[in-house]
DNA sequence: TTATCTGCAAACCGTTTGCAAAGTT
DNA sequence: AACTTTGCAAACGGTTTGCAGATAA
């Protein structure tokens, strides 16, 4: 039980919460609440059969509030979460199939410093994501229906 | 009637649409549909008294589809729009009072080029926003209620 | 035992949409 | 006159919440 996060945060360790955290740990990029939920169902077991979506949402919110998770929004407004590691990460996301590639290093640290000095802001964070088409979607014709509707 | 955008896009010029575009033109940063709507109401006149929120949403979507507007999402998932100028812009946003400061130049052009070559992605865009507390909110105590609830 | 957490269903809120009336060309 | 756009109100979909029962400590 690696460095008991639950006790440290004054939270109770429950199957649902543990499952959420595990999914987050094995995810490379930012994940949606829905996605976390689907993966918990997929893995089955104690949590898989009992955990509901609200618990996932609540756990994600709680962990984000405690500072363990980073919350961001995709271009369509859907929220994603990722474990806040030692340093944070940014991703290059394929707008067609959703494939993500991690970008090494954060190109904004210097900018933040300069900007803080220049504007007087106390800069607390940033959001950065790059979008494009991955090689596979560039090559093939259709990875997914290109016309999207609704939200 | 500057370079008739409406004709160019095969759209009809109506009071509501003109009002949306004007608000967008006089906005420095990304603005929310709600915000656009409020400003249209505030300016009164023909459009001010008749335009409804759906029209604002529809106009924003249409213009974004035509490529005239850039659509992005704030950290809470609310969508914002900004006129796509010659070059695009990024902003430093105060998380307390919402004040925005434009960041000169885009620090990502070089990164995009390097990353495209490295990963094989065709990079089509990015989202970047910095967050922090502006000098005024840093100094004063309260610019707005700090605890927020709901979405 | 006690305070926290969960499942469920309903509320929320930003956004989209169907439809008939109004407006633009 | 033909076609597009609007206002309204209702639908949508992701996210949050109230509540009573289950659970961790």
What per-residue confidence (pLDDT) applies to A128?
83
What per-residue confidence (pLDDT) applies to B149?
35
For the segment B122-131, what is each residue's pLDDT rounded down to a tens digit? 887 787 888 7
What per-residue confidence (pLDDT) applies to B139?
73
The label of the residue with tokens 């812009």 reads B89
For the segment A120-145, what is each residue's pLDDT rounded down to a tens digit? 988 877 878 887 788 887 776 544 43
What per-residue confidence (pLDDT) applies to B145?
39
Q: How confident is the model at residue A146 (pLDDT cuts 50, 70, 90)?
A: very low
| Chain A: closest CA distance from residue B14 (Å) | 24
The SS3 call for residue A23 is helix
Q: Is B129 exposed, middle or buried (0-12, 13-18, 19+ CB in 10 A)?
A: buried
Identify the DSSP state of B128. E
Across residues B30-56, what is the average pLDDT? 93
For the segment B9-24, what is each residue's pLDDT rounded down to a tens digit? 999 999 999 999 999 9
What tokens appear for A9 in the block? 């945060």
B-chain residue closest to A116, CA distance: B132
pLDDT of B80 > 90? The answer is yes
Q: How confident is the model at residue A106 (pLDDT cuts 50, 70, 90)?
A: confident
A92 neighbourhood in chain B, CB within 8 Å:
115, 119, 121, 123
Please give the Cα distance from A5 to A149 (Å, whole number): 41
The label of the residue with tokens 């494009």 reads A132
Distance B149 CA to C11 C1' (A): 14
Q: How confident is the model at residue B109 (pLDDT cuts 50, 70, 90)?
A: confident
């Amino acid at each position: 039980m690696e460095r008991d996060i639950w006790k440290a945060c004054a939270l109770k360790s429950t199957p649902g919460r543990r499952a959420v955290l595990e999914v987050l740990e094995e995810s490379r990029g930012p994940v949606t609440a829905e996605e976390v939920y689907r993966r918990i169902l997929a893995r089955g077991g104690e949590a898989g059969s009992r955990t509901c979506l609200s618990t996932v949402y609540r756990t994600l919110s709680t962990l984000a509030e405690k500072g363990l998770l980073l919350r961001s929004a995709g271009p369509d407004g859907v929220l994603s979460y990722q474990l806040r590691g030692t340093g944070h990460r940014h991703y290059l996301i394929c707008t067609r199939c959703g494939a993500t590639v991690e970008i090494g290093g954060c190109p904004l640290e210097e900018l933040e410093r300069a900007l803080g000095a220049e504007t007087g802001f106390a800069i607390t964070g940033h959001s950065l994501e790059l979008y494009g088409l991955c090689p596979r979607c560039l090559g093939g014709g259709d990875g997914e229906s290109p016309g999207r509707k609704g939200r």
